[in-house]
A and B are shown apart, each in its own frame.
Chain A
Amino acid sequence: MADSDAKRQTELLVAVRDSRDRTAFSQLFDHFAPRLKAMLVRSNMNQAQADDILQDVMLTIWRKAHLFDPARAGASAWIYRVARNRMIDIVRKERRAIPPELYDDAVEPEKQSADLGQAQEAQLLRAALERLPENQRAMIERAYLGELTHQEINRDTGLPVGTIKSRIRLGLEKLRHDLKDLRKP
């Protein structure tokens, strides 16, 4: 596999963490902001709302970068989590967020950690996701984008809830299986 995007993104996020590097942040913005915006628009927001929340999420990444530990999560997984928590938080309005760092042992990562362990995993996962049959991939996307509950997917697609659940389960199993294959040297 070519020098991976996932590794590059993780290095950028580590640069933001360790030296509040604005150039690195700007590059992360260029990669993730259009995708985060797509995620926001897909949860039924209009452009103006999506832009507001996008700004908030990007600033949250800037505020929380010191909690990023590449040994525990790839950049995309970490950003996904920060974005989802922030979205739920904003949508719920009240002070009802579950602070992510609290269920992460509230331990700050060791500075200058060079262990990019999860970046390679993230790259493999991306490849495996792209190889899934289209219907399984679509279900996984909708479930993880939190667009919809299973009932809502049912209403949209006319598929019974049991079928949706089994497609998601099959998709996840195939992902795990592919990951095992990809990890083999």
Chain B
Amino acid sequence: MSTIHHHIDDTSLASFAAGQLSYPYAIVVASHLAMCPSCRQTHASHMGVGGAVLDTLPEAEVSHDVKSGVMGMLDDTPADPPAARLAPALYPGPLSMFFGETGPKWRNIGLATKQSILWEGDEGSVRLLHIPAGKPVPEHGHSGPEYTLVLKGNYQANGEVFGVGDLEIADDDTDHTPTAGPEEPCICLAATNAPLRFRSRVVSMIQPLLKI
């Protein structure tokens, strides 16, 4: 695997550690962590601080009933079975919950680009994009930051190359046009906290139908 150059920024990782990052972004951050040993280490030190905070909290009263309730349930509570890894090797573990071993279901969105929406809701959306070699993603701006993680191939945006494992956080005022590298198709995971606003009029008209 190539070296990872673009990591999670401190603020996002701290928010993730404290459980404060919104769900779509948290999926992307968890996926990056699965691919990036150095961010995993930073995340572990955040957990260390969290543990120290927990440890130094003044104790609240816990009734005897609560404890005896828990102790009484231990025998009926077996250890969790080991997590089965279902997703194809290309996809980081946290995405296993969205599709099985057959992989994601792709849908054409024009210009030979495909997408697979993994989740969408009031907190935004998470989807996979499959961009043919050398082709741009349809031009769009965001109405909030967009987190993009490269899973295969690479893309170029704003003069920078993002390869496998790299995470790009693009601000809402960035009008960037990512273009897949010339060698192979690029597959990436993208999350926003709102529907994307595509610029082309045709795409804008059909956007509600395609859910992009």
Contacts and interface: CB of A to CB of B under 8 A. Distances in A.
A81 B3 CA distance: 28
B66 A172 contact: no
B47 A78 contact: yes
A122 B52 contact: yes
A59 interface: yes
Contacts of A145: 18, 53
B101 to A, nearest CB: 15
Contacts of A160: none
A34 B62 contact: yes
Given A63-B80, A87-B19, A33 B66 contact: yes
B1 interface: no
Identify which of A26, A87, A95 gathers the most chain B CB atoms within 10 Å of its CB.
A26
Given A33-B66, A34-B60, A96 B53 contact: no
Nearest to A50: B60
Given A25-B74, A84-B18, A172 B49 contact: yes
A37 B94 contact: no
Contacts of A79: 51, 54
B34 interface: yes
A55 B69 contact: yes
B66 A54 contact: yes
A33 B83 CA distance: 27
A129 B49 contact: yes
B47 A81 contact: yes
Contact of B94 (A62, A66, A102): A102
A73 interface: yes
Given A38-B57, A63-B79, A146-B20, A98 B26 contact: yes
Contacts of A80: 47, 50-51, 53-54
Interface residues of A, number: 73
B94 A99 contact: yes
Contact of B55 (A20, A22, A35, A143): A35
A129 B18 contact: no
Contacts of A106: 82-83, 85, 93
A167 interface: no
Contacts of B85: 106
A155 interface: no
Contact of B59 (A20, A35, A140, A168): A35
A180 interface: no
Given A76-B51, A77-B44, A121-B48, A33 B62 contact: yes
Given A29-B70, A73-B44, A103-B92, 9 more contacts: A26-B67, A38-B60, A39-B57, A77-B52, A84-B50, A96-B23, A101-B83, A144-B50, A146-B20
Interface of B: 11, 14, 17-20, 23, 26-27, 30-31, 33-34, 40, 44, 46-63, 66-67, 69-71, 73-74, 77-80, 82-83, 85, 92-94, 96-97, 119
Interface pairs A-B: 4 shortest CB-CB? A76-B51, A77-B51, A34-B59, A102-B93
